[in-house]
């Protein structure tokens, strides 16, 4: 998942590390600080000067050599990392990371590197990885723990799914239903997509396979009525969760958006979840923003994350629209859905800091 971005971040990480390493070498020679090195403690004087030819060559960055500024701490300047930060910025933008998220990442990395006193013997790679990790976690947000939400709210918890056509919304509803059932919750699905040909049959097949009841009306029925009946069924049977499927729609279709407003008024959802494809990149971010502005959204699910090498939407969406990611879809099976865990994503992007 996000393999292309991971590779590019590794290259950017090495460039940043190399820049800092070069600055350290210059500083160690007393050339770039504008001041003489200050000894941390008196050093014994060698009886004979060391032979320069016997000094071992500095190991490559890949081996993660530690910068040993023996007589003082290293202070990284803006100039030391300016070019590497520009390269990192281009890496993020080329990976479909939205501009506001890119700006936030660059600002955070700069803040965590420039002007900081680094401890004697601290690894260059540790400095860079720490700065990148902090920046990525800031823009990814905390995610949305659906299990915790259900456990701490009155039941049934009513969840309304929205999104554009063809992004895997109906399949996502089934996957989340299977996930919640496995976690011990009781679930009912409302077949609120009453207009797309075959939509009711599709959700009914999913529901049968995962062993969850589906409430449905005939094709062309009022989706508000279907979802009202679904909520009433959940209340009368003391169920934990209502998952409401709806027809895909674009935010600029006034009649369909009005219909969604009616559904919200009738169903009174606790959560509105926007579903889109990770592979859509910045388009997914823009559409999520417009949906949130028009009908509101509490969380986001990104499908096809396993097919997305760039990772731009996953990196950008929470920061850009201010709504947390709830799940990532990573395959075709019902189990192929992952609760969004920012630390896990960052570990994957940074190879665990290895």
Give the pLDDT confidence score for residue 67 in this predicted structure: 43
Two tokens at 122?
A: 């601290």
Domain 146-340 fold is Rossmann fold (3.40.50)
Q: Is the distance from CB of 270 to CB of 159 less than 8 angstroms?
A: yes
Positive or negative CA dihedral for 58, 60, 63, 67? positive
Mean pLDDT by 10 residues, the chain (354 residues): 87 86 67 41 47 50 38 71 92 92 95 72 80 95 95 97 90 97 98 88 95 94 95 98 88 71 93 93 88 88 90 90 94 94 92 58
Cβ-proximal residues to 55 (8 Å cutoff; 6+ apart), any chain: none
pLDDT, position 148: 97
The fold for domain 3-37+60-140 equals: 1.20.120
Tokens 């449905």 locate to 216
Cα gap 16→24, rounded to integer Å: 12
Give the DSSP H or E segment for 271. Answer: strand 271-277
* pLDDT at residue 181 in the model: 97
- Quote the CA–CA distance of 61 and 341 in Å, as a whole number: 30
Report the SS3 class of residue 217: coil
- Strand-pair category, 337-339 with 325-329: antiparallel
Candidates 82, 129, 138; CA nearest to 110 is 82
The full set of domain ranges for the chain reads 3-37+60-140, 146-340
> What are the CB-based long-range contacts (under 8 Å, 24+) for 35-44?
37/71, 37/72, 38/71, 38/72, 39/71, 39/72, 40/70, 40/71, 40/72, 40/120, 43/71
Q: What are phi and psi of 307, to 5 degrees?
A: -100, 0
pLDDT at residue 159 in the model: 98
């Amino acid at each position: 998942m996000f393999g292309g971005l991971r590779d590019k971040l590794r290259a950017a990480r090495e460039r940043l590390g190399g820049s800092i390493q070069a600055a350290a070498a210059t500083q160690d020679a007393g050339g770039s600080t504008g001041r003489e090195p200050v000894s941390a403690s008196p050093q014994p004087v060698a009886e004979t000067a060391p032979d320069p030819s016997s000094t071992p060559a500095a190991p490559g960055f890949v081996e993660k050599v530690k910068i040993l500024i023996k007589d003082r701490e290293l202070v990284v300047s803006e100039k030391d990392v300016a070019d590497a930060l520009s390269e990192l910025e281009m890496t993020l933008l080329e990976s479909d990371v939205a501009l506001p998220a890119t700006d936030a990442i660059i600002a955070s990395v700069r803040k965590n590197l420039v002007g900081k006193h680094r401890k004697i013997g601290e690894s260059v790679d540790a400095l860079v990885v720490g700065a990148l990790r902090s920046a990525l976690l800031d823009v990814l947000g905390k995610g949305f723990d659906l299990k915790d939400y259900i456990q701490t709210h009155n039941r049934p918890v009513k969840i309304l799914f929205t999104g554009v056509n063809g992004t895997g919304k109906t399949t996502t509803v089934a996957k989340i239903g299977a996930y919640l059932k496995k976690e011990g919750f009781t679930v009912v699905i409302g077949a609120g997509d009453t207009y797309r040909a075959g939509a009711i049959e599709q959700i009914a097949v999913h529901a049968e396979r995962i062993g969850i009841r589906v409430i449905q009306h005939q094709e062309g029925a009022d989706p508000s009525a279907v979802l009202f009946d679904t909520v009433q069924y959940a209340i009368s049977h003391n169920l934990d969760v209502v998952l409401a499927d709806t027809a895909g729609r674009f935010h600029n279709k006034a009649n369909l958006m009005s219909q969604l407003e009616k559904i919200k008024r009738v169903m009174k959802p606790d959560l509105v979840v926007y579903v889109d494809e990770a592979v859509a990149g910045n388009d997914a971010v823009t559409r999520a923003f417009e949906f949130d502005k028009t009908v509101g959204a509490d969380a986001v699910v990104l499908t096809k994350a396993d097919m997305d090498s760039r990772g731009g939407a996953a990196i950008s969406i929470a920061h850009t629209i201010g709504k947390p990611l709830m799940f990532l879809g990573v395959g075709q099976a019902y189990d192929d859905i992952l609760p969004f865990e920012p630390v896990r994503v960052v570990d994957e992007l940074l190879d665990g800091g290895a």
